[in-house]
Structure 1
Amino acid sequence: MASLSGFLRRAPPTRLKAFFDAHRVEVPDDFDWTSERRGKAFVQSIESLLSGLPDLQQDRLRAELDHLKTLADNDGMKGAEQVCAGQGIDLDGLQGNEDVLLMLAVDHPQIIDRVSAQTSLIRRTGGRNWAGFQFEDDGRSWALDDEAARDAFLQDAIEILKLPEHRKREADWYQSVRVHPVTGDETTITQATIYVEERAASELAFVSGTTVERQVVPKVLEVGLACDPQNRMIEICAKGGKRVRDQYAEAFTKRFAPGAPPPVEMPRREVLLDTLRRTPRFEIDPADGIEGVEVSSLEFFSTGGGTARFERRGDGETIYEFLGRRFGPHSPLQAHGWTIYAATLRIMRGASDGKRGKTLTVTLRAPNTTTLPNTTEADRHYALDLLERWHLIAPPPEDVDVTEDF
Structure 2
Amino acid sequence: MASFGGFIRKSPSDRLRRFFSTRNVSVPDDFDWSSNGRGTALVKSVEELLAGLPERQQDAVKAELDLLASLADKDGMTAAEQVCAGQNIDIEGLAGIQEVLLFLAIDHPTEIDRVSVQASMLRRNGGRNWAAFQFDDDRKPWDLNSQIARDAFLTDTVAILDLPNHRKRVADWFETVRVHPITGEATTLTQATIYVEERAESELGFGPSATLERHVVPKVLEVGIACDVQARVVEISAKGGKKARDQYARAFSKHFAPHSEAPVQMPRRDVMLDILKQAPDFDIEPADGIERIEVSSLEFHATGGGYVRIEKRGEGESVYQFIERRFGHNSPLRAGGWQILAATVRIILTPTDGQRRRTLTVTLRLPNTTTLPNKTEKDRQFVFNLLERWGLLAAPHADFDVVEVA
Report the equivalent of 2:310: 310
Is the CA contact 2:140–2:259 (under 8 Å) kept in the aligned structure 1?
A: no
Q: Is the 8 A contact 2:35 2:41 kept in 1?
A: no
2:103 corresponds in structure 1 to 103
**TM-score normalized by the length of structure 1:** 0.91
Secondary structure of the structure 2 residue equivalent to 1:374: coil
- 1:276–1:14: structure 2 CA closer, same or farther, 3 Å change rule? farther
* Separation in 1, partners of 2:389, 2:30: 61
- The answer on whether the counterparts of 2:239 and 2:402 sit within 8 Å (CA) in structure 1 is no
Kept in 2, the 8 Å contact 1:204–1:215? The answer is yes
More displaced 10-residue stretch of structure 1: 307-316 or 203-212: 307-316
Aligned length: 406
Q: CA deviation at 1:393?
A: 2.4
| 1:7-406 matched pairs, under 5 angstroms | 7-313=7-313, 318-320=318-320, 322-324=322-324, 326-351=326-351, 358-401=358-401, 403-404=403-404
Matched residue of 2:373: which SS? helix
Preserved contact between residue 9 and residue 35 of structure 2 (Cα < 8 Å): no
Distance, in Å, in 1 between the alignment partners of 2:4 and 2:161 is 36
Task: Classify the secondary structure of the residue corresponding to 1:373.
Answer: coil
- Please give the alpha-carbon distance, in whole angstroms, between the structure 2 residues aligned to 1:38 and 1:17: 19
Q: Using the TM superposition, give the Cα deviation of residue 201 of structure 1 relative to its aligned residue in structure 2, in angstroms.
A: 0.1
Q: Deviations over 1:167-224 (max 9, x none)?
A: 1111111111111222222221111111111100000001223211101000111111
Deviations 1:317-346 (A, max 9, x none): 654455456544433223332221111112
Matching residue's letter, 1:122? L
**Contact 1:324/1:331 (CA < 8 Å) preserved in 2?**
yes
Instruction: Tell me whether 26-35 or 93-102 shows the greater mean CA deviation.
Output: 26-35
Q: Is the 8 A contact 1:290 1:348 kept in 2?
A: yes
Rounded to whole Å, the distance in 1 between the matches of 2:338 and 2:3 is 38
AA of the residue aligned to 1:131: A
Query: Which consecutive residues of structure 2, in runs of 5 or more, have no partner in the other structure?
Result: none
Separation (CA, whole Å) in 2 of partners of 1:241 and 1:320? 42
- Say which is worse superposed, 249-258 or 43-52, in terms of deviation: 43-52
Q: Deviations over 1:41-94 (max 9, x none)?
A: 333233332333332222212211111122111111111111111111011101
SS of the aligned residue for 1:282 comes to coil
Q: Which moved more, 1:329-338 or 1:222-231?
A: 329-338
**SS at 2:301 equivalent:** strand
Which deviates further from its counterpart, 211-220 or 332-341? 332-341
Q: CA deviation at 1:351?
A: 4.7
Gaps of 5+ in 1: none
Distance 1:74 1:185 in 2: 19
Tell me the TM-score normalised to structure 2 length.
0.91
Please state how far the C-alpha of 1:314 moved relative to its aligned partner. 5.6
